[in-house]
Structure 1
Amino acid sequence: MELSRRHALAGAAALAASPFILNVPARAVAPLADKQAPGFYRYRVGDIQVNAISDGAGSFPLTDAYIANAKKDEINAALARAFLPKDRITTFYAPLVLNIGGKLVLIDTGNGQGAFASSKGNVGQFTTNMVAAGLDPKAIDTVVISHFHGDHVNGLLLADGTPAFPNAEVLVPAAEWKFWMDDAEMSRASGDRMTGLFKNNRRVFEAGLKKKVTPYEWDKDVVPGLLAVASIGHTPGHTSYVLSSGSDTLFVQSDVTNLPALFATNPDWHVMYDQDPAQAQATRHKVYDMLVAEKMRVQGFHYPFPANGFVEKDGNGYRLMPAPWSPVM
């Protein structure tokens, strides 16, 4: 027997009208919760413990400028296929804390405490969630930065401008450091977004952090077990990582894609955040073809939390298959 929507609704109406319902004693209404549980999730890559820590999620209206080579109708159609709201973009943020070789290594830092108030608590949650996960910011040994956008570097500072991880060395991509710290490049910047990025990066890295900053090169381990891989286009020094322990691997893609429902599915779309859109497009295909071929688990900074899974080919694009949640380590 097939159950139609009409049958289901009729059954629900009959249940609501049942006289037995009237004989159930009333119970006190439980108060509604006003917050989510702390946002963290742990899994292992060989002997390495990966702690995905949510920095929250920010939403904003879809504009014509968001994707340069797609119309709003196309974008809304992609959002609808992913069961996401029309005319609205929600961006997720998920820095990582690695427990690797007895050291705590943080990859990217989120939007920072200063963004918590301005976003009404939607973002800037990283430090609170990190502490809830039993991780002390003072215990972070190394901070590894993938690129110099505010949602990755602003968390280096507390709201009062002091270092958020006072005992950590800060490692940055050499190519990224060279570009954003170049006065000539800064003088050539145009538009509010690029000029704002230069000013923000000078603010962050000159606020007591410069002495702790060490540039690193691609194709070398940043720390043992964490290989830095060039994945340029999003920025000139944008970096991804291969985390390895024994035969187990994880690809940390940073911002190779933003929201996967849009940019994994449509890898040729040019999001406004990509500094070199054509290069970013080529990088997406290269990285995602590798992930498909290797069947490698991937962690994405802007994937829906807990922000990891596997990629399969899907027509001209790709599809993210979220890794199943595990209740145990």
Structure 2
Amino acid sequence: MAQESREEGVASGRTRFRTLKLGSFKVTVISDGTRTSGSPHETYGTDQSADAVSALLTENFLPTSAFVNGFSPVLVDTGSDLVLFDTGFGEGGRENGMGKLAEGIRAAGYAPDQVTVVVITHMHGDHIGGLTEGGKPAFVNARYVTGHVEYDFWKDTARVGTPAENGHKAVLEKVVPLAEKTTFIGDGAEVVPGISAIAAFGHSPGHLIFRVDSDGQALILTSDTANHYVLSLQRPDWEVRFDMDKAAAASTRKKVFDLIATDRLPFIGYHMPFPAVGFVERKDQGYRFVPASYQFDI
């Protein structure tokens, strides 16, 4: 099993990070910030009654009028590469208390120019916003890896005049200028030794998750497969506003978390409560999130 170090920190401005050891790899989760939003039913369980959503929240000791969403990029130090998964909001999020990734990287003992590979799981704004800083690449020594299905969708001018137009514009600004340094991959592709892609389409057209293996230990980086630790996991069939293909996203949730539950693997979810590391067990019609505590300290 992974061994989590006791290295946990809070930098200035409440930037948080948590480091764990996975075999010979060092994995660091960094908080890019959090956001409080109202009316959970307008985001989760949009195909259910507001009363049903409220009842599930109440059952889980959560408020029914608002929810907090976290954003957690991940660094994996393999000893040969420093691989960053997703880049948070970047400078565009700082006015609202986000965009803390660069500060968090430094607080964890690294520098942005040490990152050798940047992996983009999918191209929503909270994952690609930090690719640039002041109009220049934020990770000057990195190459990039992302899914070809995802890139082709967002780059296509067919997005103009559709609800995806703003995403299209963001990709033209943030991702397309880096294309010459980008490797476009699909299901099963190796990023670096010990890290491989798994297709998990639905939340976005080419959404990828990643399996990390080192010395017989493994974890899954689930990205946005589940966006709420109760509403998306205990009710994986419930529709989520941000899932672009809602039926495919629900099917993917069940497939991915069935695997995680069956193999008793730890996972890191981009929007899980910080430090975003935990397990799931099957419960009723879905899964119960079990946050990591001291399992990895012993």
TM-score, length-scaled by structure 2: 0.91
* Identity within the alignment, %: 34
The within-5 A match list for 1:208-247 is 208-247=177-216
Aligned to 1:41: 18
Partner of residue 124, structure 1:
99
What residue is the counterpart of 2:233 in the other structure?
264
Structure 2 residue aligned with 1:163: 137
Output one character per residue of 1:257-299: Cα deviation in whole Å (capped at 9) or x when no partner.
0011110011011111111000000111111111111111111
- Matching residue of 2:47: 69
Runs of 5+ consecutive residues of structure 2 not aligned to the other structure: 1-11
Paired amino acid for 1:278:
A
Q: Distance in 1 between matches of 2:273 and 2:40?
A: 21
* Inter-CA distance 247–64: structure 2 relative to 1 (3 Å threshold): closer
Deviation string for 1:43-102 (max 9, x for gaps)?
A: 111111100011111111116542321222222222223333222121111100000132
Structure 1 residues 137 and 326: CA distance shift in structure 2, 3 A: farther
Q: Is the 8 A contact 2:150 2:206 kept in 1?
A: yes
Q: Go from structure 1 to structure 2 and tell me whether the alpha carbon gap of 1:97 and 1:62 turns closer, same or farther (over 3 Å shift).
A: same
> In the alignment, residue 284 of structure 1 is paired with which amino acid?
R
2:172 to 202, 222, 228: 202
Q: Take 1:36 and 1:74, find their aligned partners in 2: how far apart are those partners?
A: 37
- Give the match's secondary structure for 2:136: coil
Determine which structure has greater relative contact order: mean sequence separation of CA pairs < 8 Å that are 6+ residues apart, divided by chain length.
2
1:4 aligns to what? none
Maintained 8 Å contact 2:33/2:70: yes
What's the CA shift string for 1:200-255, capped at 9, x where partnerless? 1111124x423222211221211111110000001111001110012100011111
Amino acid corresponding to residue 142 of structure 2 in structure 1: A
Structure 1 length as normaliser, TM-score? Answer: 0.83
Shift of 1:198: 1.2
Rg larger in structure:
1
Deviation at 1:324, TM superposition (A): 1.3
Gaps of at least 5 residues in structure 1 are 1-34
- The answer to whether 1:186 aligns with 2:159 is yes
Judged with a 3 Å threshold, the aligned counterparts in structure 2 of structure 1 residues 64 and 313 are, in CA distance, closer, same or farther, namely: closer
Secondary structure in structure 1 of the residue aligned to 2:231:
helix
Kindly report the root-mean-square deviation, in angstroms, between the aligned alpha carbons of the 2 structures.
Answer: 1.9
SS, match of residue 52 in structure 2: helix
Question: Counterpart amino acid of 2:159?
Answer: M
Would you say how many aligned residue pairs link Structure 1 and Structure 2? 287
CA distance in 2, matches of 1:328, 1:37: 24
- Does the C-alpha gap of structure 1 residues 175 and 156 become closer, same or farther in structure 2, counting only changes over 3 Å? same
In structure 1, how many angstroms separate the alpha carbons of the residues matched to 2:91 and 2:188? 33
The 3-state SS of whatever aligns with 2:272 is coil
1:102 is paired with a residue whose SS is coil
